[in-house]
Amino acid sequence: MNLISSLSKCLFALSTFALVNVSHADIRPHTFKFAHVLSKASHYEAGAQKFAEILAKKSNNKLIIKTYPDGTLGGEVQVIQALRSGTVDITTCNPGMLIGLNKNFGVFDMPFMFNDHSEADAILDGRIGKSLLDNPPPGLVGLAYWDHGFRNVSNSKRPIVKMEDIDGLKIRVSQSPMIIETIRGLNANPLPMPFTELYTALETKAVDGQENPNGIFEFNKLYEVQKYLSLTQHQYNPLIVLFSKKIWDELNSDEQKLVREAAAETVSYQRKFLRDMNSNALVSLKEKGTIINDVSAQEKERMRNKLRPVSERLAKEQVNEAIVKDVMAELEKIRQTKTSN
């Protein structure tokens, strides 16, 4: 019996070893194009490089990611279309860029939705974020949520200490209806334009200011043409990591599994990188002469209240009102838990 038992164990071990080997053998060589619009110094690229590193290690260098930063393969809209057609494999962008394909993804662009990173993380990593990630627009596969951060307003005229200080300022914004209506709702003048035109527009005073996370303000050297940076935190942006569905369907289940695992393992690294970058940028910008001011919780609440009619209209017209209510209800639970603790 002992001999039979020993033989059985050996056969089981050999069969398991064979299955593992078959699994590794099923990982075929692939090189994926990861395109994004920011520079090599950005948190986009940091996340992409970590993704590439983890995936290469997991696949014994069979699954390779090559990055294409600086918009070399096109702007965000073009790259999303390229993913859907299968000519680009991976990208990362603000989920709000998907609003034309699925209105639910606009929920994260609502003004003053989140008070801090912990609230954003709880929604993204919880039931609502997972549901959106698992149900992306046609032609796309959702892999993970990274971080872009809270947006702050800079300008060349005055610090924004109270809500009225933003009145009349010409602020460059992206071509998102959400941010256009947010800035207009605060009595400033939103001027949509491509990011590539921003520095020149600020330098020539065609616009007074802009709004972006701190890191972007620094590594694009906007401090050279902007004197004041006010920490309004009027909008939070996550990033969504997307894969081409057309290419995804050509991968076998083992390859898909490794890609998903590698993407998930980049999340904590990328978020920490971004948050450290934004925090360090404040120190560096002060040294460079930028005048930075906080905006009090009371003034942010005044801005939130002023924007309430805008938020209600955006929820109905631009997003899906049901998901906005769902997020707000979930946030209320999170805030009550914080208070009770």
One pLDDT digit (tens) per residue for the chain, 341 residues? 454 445 445 444 444 444 444 356 689 999 999 999 998 989 999 999 999 999 999 999 999 999 999 999 998 989 999 999 999 999 999 998 999 999 999 999 999 999 999 999 999 999 999 999 999 999 999 999 999 999 999 999 999 999 999 999 999 998 788 999 999 999 999 999 888 799 999 999 999 999 999 999 998 999 999 999 999 999 999 999 999 999 999 999 999 999 999 999 999 999 999 999 999 999 999 999 999 999 999 999 999 999 999 999 999 999 999 999 999 999 999 999 887 77
Please answer whether residues 310 and 178 qualify as being in contact, where contact means their C-beta atoms are separated by less than 8 angstroms. no
Instruction: Note the pLDDT of residue 182.
Output: 95
Structure tokens at 271: 């978020």
- What distances in angstroms separate CA 302 from CA 163, 182, 186, 269, 308, one per listed residue? 7, 14, 10, 35, 10
Q: Which one, of 37, 28, 40, 67, lies nearest residue 51 by Cα?
A: 67
Number of domains present in the structure of the chain? 1
- pLDDT value, residue 11: 47
Give pLDDT, residue 176. Answer: 81
pTM of the model: 0.88
Residues whose CB falls within 8 Å of the CB of residue 246, separated by 6 or more in sequence, listed in order:
84, 85, 86, 139
DSSP 234-246: EEEEEEEEEEEHH
169 residue type, one letter: L
CATH number, position 266: 3.40.190.170
**Rounded Cα distance, 223 and 269, in Å:** 27
Q: Is there a domain that residue 186 lies in? A: yes
Full residue range of the structural domain in which residue 59 is found: 27-340
Count Cβ atoms below 10 Å from residue 114 Cβ, excluding itself: 22
Residue 10 within a domain? no
| Inter-residue contact 95 to 76 (CB < 8 Å) | no
Query: Which pLDDT value is given to residue 173?
Result: 94
Domain membership flag for residue 9? no
Which token pair is 2?
């002992």
245, with CB counted inside 10 A (0-12, 13-18, 19+), is middle
- What is the DSSP-derived secondary structure letter of residue 165? G
CA 169 to chain centre: 27
Residue 19 lies in a domain: no
Residue 15 domain-assigned (yes or no):
no
CA atoms within 13 A on the CB side of 169: 25
Give the model's pLDDT for residue 3: 46
Q: Does 6 map to a domain?
A: no
Task: Return the pLDDT at 15.
Answer: 45
